[in-house]
Amino acid sequence: MTILSIATVSLAGTLTEKLEAIALAGFRGVEIFEADLLSFPGSPADVARIAADLNLDIITFQPFRDFEGMPEPKRARVFDRAERKFDLMQELGCDLLLVCSNVSPESLGGIDRAAADFTELGQRAAARGIRIGYEALAWGRHVNDYRDAWEIVRRADHPNVGIILDTFHILARGTDLAAISAIPRDRIPLVQVADAPLLDMDLLSWSRHWRCMPGQGDLPLDAFMAALDATGYDGLLSLEIFNDRFRAGSARGIAVDGNRSLINLMDRLARARGKPIQGIPAMPARAECLGVAFIEFAIGEDAVDSFETMLKALGFTKAGRHRSKDVGLWRQGDIHIVLNWDKEGFAHAHYITHGSSVCAIALKVADAKATMERALGLHDQTFAQVVRPGELDIPAVRGVGGSLIYFVDETSGLGRWWEVDFEPVPGAGEGAGLATVDHISQSMLYEEMLSWVLFYTSLFDAGKGPVLDVLDPGGVVQSQVVENRTGTLRLVLNASQSHRTLSARFLTDFFGSGVQHIALSTGDIHATIAKLEANGISLLPIPENYYDDLEARTDLEPAAIDRLKAGNVLYDRDAGGEFFHAYTETLEGGLFFEIVERKGYSGYGAVNAAIRLAAQTRLAPTVTMPRH
Ligand SMILES: O=C(O)c1ccc(O)c(O)c1
Ligand SMILES: [Mg+2]
């Protein structure tokens, strides 16, 4: 049966905090890193007790370094050191020692020499009821390939000596996976799992700082899992993630992410092979997002007038009044905006914490119940509040910054949410040509970004784009897209390590992560902008220099450039077509809208982001409006 585990090195905190977070996140096993034990103010037996109380198995003690191929007299000393660690492991109640391949310049190569060392270590370990797992580090001095490690283990020919496969070391070097299926599964005591973004850097730094949870990076983990599955392996799967951000994050949050990432990985494998995996509960497939049903703003009573005025100016019409609460529904094209200033319930709590802001996003899915089931299976945080008679109970999970993501579908009646909850308000305005929500951009803490990438891509049938660096006058902002193939789910996640970027200042002003901008689509950006301007909406002014450069680097006619300039419209193009976009000036609270027109284009205008950020910074250099 598959047992999920994690190495203590993956998390922040003291050893006790780590163990508690690991147990709470649903892991059954833990790998104790030596450094965590050395800094623990108690005996190994104390650690064993804490783990037992938490119902955690200490599956491995690691790493044991620079063992094989040492010349005498070092060789004798290495065996003495191993015996000391066996003592410690017995106290710890752990029977598997991870030996990683030797990196010492003093070590001698030679497969038979290494094999002989492992035979002897196996004999000594067996006398203590201990097993040895040999792992090839990608930067090992003589052994850096799992195929060589396996040959050594095979020749050592001792039942207590096996091979530990670590996805990072194998995939980072692009090692061929075919040889995995030739390893008997009972010779693999442990498989360590880690992902990583593709980076052009030395293997050691890449491994020690940039590993991440499966699904957060770019390594071909599905191919590895398929090769491993061919051996029939169904034992321990342990996350071993060296990552600077995770070490600075919350142990509990990162541990939950880890568990979620493994469940998601195994769910992918189960689907690929068409057979469930023992020990991993089956769950519905990733949900297809069919679009944004509505965006809900929690606002103060005193802000209702100004918000409604702004929505009107953007071309929205009041379409409904909530039957029992201070909530209004506004509509334009297929865009629905809910304004909530009720004094009770979730929205109010959100307003108290964050000020006027987006408190919920409702997404259309094929089956809301199945989506919720998957969310539960992934340990996503579900949400429920008191539902008054006559109101719909819309299933929801917690999203970025404590906001909600609602799921509505067409099959369960949830799709008619507005008819149930709202009294229609007659009359329709002419609108400004805005048709759909194109994308939603969320700003968050740098440490959170990978968590939300995993959250979205494990729950929804969506992928992630590359991490882009965007220059803000106050620093660098990292930007990553989460989107599905049809473009019905498009999110842009932003975070920065500087405190002076617009994205970071949004977090400070807003008391947390959240929606910073909403992009609305139009079929004719020039007509839409003319309407908005006539309605008194100020668009973000774009400097002349931008248009001079655009003229120099594109084949756009001068008249077309003049038109863009007049409307403060930015331009981009890709293989699919053209993109036009403009921004409203920033509203109270740091939120703004983007107006976009896509003509076959599938990106987000990232080349223009620095221009936009500089323009916004010029308009709002340091002070922001009070929020309450
Ligand atoms: O970076 C290291 O030294 C190291 C140690 C132990 C491991 O299991 C590993 O994968 C890497
Ligand atoms: Mg490892």
434-619 maps to CATH 3.40.630.10: no
**Domain residue spans of the chain:** 3-273, 289-424, 434-619
CA atoms of 123 and 118, how far apart (whole Å): 8
Nearest of 72, 59, 69, 60 to residue 28 by alpha carbon: 59
How does pLDDT run across 64-110, given as a tens digit for each residue? Answer: 999 999 999 999 999 999 999 999 999 999 999 999 999 999 999 99
Q: Which ligand has the nearest atom to the CA of 100?
A: 1
Q: Say which amino acid occupies 47.
A: V
Cis peptide before 281 (omega within 30 of 0): no
Q: Give percent above pLDDT 70 in the chain.
A: 99
CA atoms of 103 and 120, how far apart (whole Å): 20
Per-residue model confidence (pLDDT) at position 624: 40
How does pLDDT run across 550-570, given as a tens digit for each residue? Answer: 999 999 999 999 999 999 999
- Which residues have CB under 8 Å from 94's CB, separation 6+? 32, 58, 59, 60, 61
Per-residue model confidence (pLDDT) at position 386: 79
Per-residue model confidence (pLDDT) at position 493: 97
In short, whether 29's Cβ falls inside 6 Å of ligand 1 is no
How does pLDDT run across 196-219, given as a tens digit for each residue? Answer: 999 999 999 999 999 999 999 999
Q: Which ligand has the nearest atom to the CA of 191?
A: 2
Instruction: Give helix then strand counts, H and E, for the chain.
Output: 21, 26
CA atoms of 463 and 167, how far apart (whole Å): 21
Output phi, psi for 132, to 5 deg: -120, 135
Assigned token pair, 47: 């650690």
CB 483 within 8 A of CB 462: yes
ipTM score of complex: 0.99
In short, whether 166's Cβ falls inside 6 Å of ligand 1 is yes
Q: Is there a binding annotation on residue 135?
A: yes
Tokens 């730094």 -> residue: 205
Sign of CA dihedral 344, 346, 349, 354: negative
CA atoms of 530 and 432, how far apart (whole Å): 9
By three-state DSSP, how is residue 506 classified? helix
Assigned token pair, 76: 């004798």
* Closest ligand 1 atom, residue 169 Cα: 10
Per-residue model confidence (pLDDT) at position 328: 96
* Closest ligand 1 atom, residue 207 Cα: 1
Query: What is the arithmetic mean of pLDDT over 43-72?
Result: 98
CB 181 within 8 A of CB 232: no
Per-residue model confidence (pLDDT) at position 500: 85
* Closest ligand 1 atom, residue 168 Cα: 10
Tokens 């201070």 -> residue: 326
Binned at pLDDT 50, 70 and 90, residue 626 comes out as: very low
The CA-atom distances, in angstroms, between 328 and each of 304, 319, 432, 497 are 10, 8, 20, 37
Sign of CA dihedral 185, 187, 192, 195: negative
How does pLDDT run across 460-493, given as a tens digit for each residue? Answer: 999 999 999 988 888 888 999 999 999 999 999 9
CB 291 within 8 A of CB 301: no
Per-residue model confidence (pLDDT) at position 430: 84
Q: Which has more confidence, 323 or 72?
A: 72
Per-residue model confidence (pLDDT) at position 246: 93
- Would you report the helix, strand and coil content of the chain in percent, each value rounded to 5? 40, 25, 35
Query: What is the arithmetic mean of pLDDT over 391-406?
Result: 91
Which of 99-103, 158-162, 424-428 is least confident? Answer: 424-428
How does pLDDT run across 514-544, given as a tens digit for each residue? Answer: 999 999 999 999 999 999 999 999 999 999 9
Q: Can you give the pTM of this predicted structure?
A: 0.95
Per-residue model confidence (pLDDT) at position 459: 98
Sign of CA dihedral 520, 526, 528, 530: positive
Which of 208-212, 322-326, 452-456 is least confident? Answer: 322-326
For the beta sheet containing 289-298, the strands, ordered from the edge strand earlier in sequence to the opposite edge, are 382-383, 396-398, 404-408, 357-365, 289-298, 335-340, 327-332, 317-322, 422-424
Mean pLDDT computed over every residue of the chain = 94
By three-state DSSP, how is residue 540 classified? coil
Per-residue model confidence (pLDDT) at position 588: 73
Neighbours of 178 (CB within 10 A): 10
CB 40 within 8 A of CB 298: no
CA atoms of 221 and 126, how far apart (whole Å): 33
The CA-atom distances, in angstroms, between 269 and each of 275, 285, 523 are 9, 12, 41
Query: What is the arithmetic mean of pLDDT over 216-241?
Result: 97
In short, whether 66's Cβ falls inside 6 Å of ligand 1 is no
3-273, superfamily in CATH?
A: Divalent-metal-dependent TIM barrel enzymes (3.20.20.150)
Assigned token pair, 318: 């009041």
CA atoms of 128 and 86, how far apart (whole Å): 7
Per-residue model confidence (pLDDT) at position 589: 73
CA atoms of 245 and 226, how far apart (whole Å): 29
Going from the Cα of 233 to the center of ligand 1, the distance in angstroms, rounded, reads 22
Q: Is the pLDDT of residue 625 over 70?
A: no
Going from the Cα of 338 to the center of ligand 1, the distance in angstroms, rounded, reads 51
Rounded-to-10 torsion of CA 362, 431, 596, 404: -10
Per-residue model confidence (pLDDT) at position 622: 44
CA atoms within 13 A on the CB side of 473: 14
* Alpha helices (H) along 130-276: 146-156, 167-172, 203-210, 221-230, 244-247, 251-273
User: What is the CATH number assigned to the segment(s) 289-424?
Assistant: 3.10.180.10
Query: Given this chain, do its domains 289-424 and 434-619 carry the same CATH topology?
Result: yes
Q: Is the pLDDT of residue 155 over 80?
A: yes
Q: Is there a binding annotation on residue 439?
A: yes
Assigned token pair, 420: 């149930």
Q: Is the pLDDT of residue 627 over 50?
A: no
